[in-house]
Amino acid sequence: MIYEKFELVVLPFPFSDSLDQKKRPALVVSANSFNSTAKHIVVGMVTTAKRSQWPLDIAISDLDAAGLAVPCIVRMKFFTADHRLILRKLGRLSPEDQQRVQSGLSELFAI
């Protein structure tokens, strides 16, 4: 399966202090051409962030389109994941949310 930029997916995330994992949403931020060729995706953190802030946090305004049940933000923390780790797709960012995330990515990487 090919995953596309701005789709939200669910992955198992490891805890840093134990062998346990938790299923969490993540946002695909890599280009479709990379995703289909590499069979990996670059994802950004999606979190409720109730007790913390991070530079360039972006609130997701259209939760229904994203497939989210509770208010979340896209956090500018990234990693690469093999397609085989993805448990399921949740949804896709709305065009407005995509534009705000793209602006955040441009600011983060100064492009």
**42-82 tens-digit pLDDT:** 999 999 988 888 999 999 999 999 999 999 999 999 999 99
Question: Looking at residue 75, what is its pLDDT?
Answer: 95
pTM value is 0.92
Is pLDDT at 32 greater than 90 in this prediction?
A: yes
Task: Return the SS3 of 32.
Answer: helix
The CATH class that applies to domain 7-13+20-109 reads: mainly beta
* Domain locations in the chain as residue ranges: 7-13+20-109
Question: Looking at residue 20, what is its pLDDT?
Answer: 73
Question: Looking at residue 78, what is its pLDDT?
Answer: 94
Cβ neighbors of 64 (< 8 A, separation 6 or more) are 91
| ∠ CA 19-14-1, rounded to 5° | 130
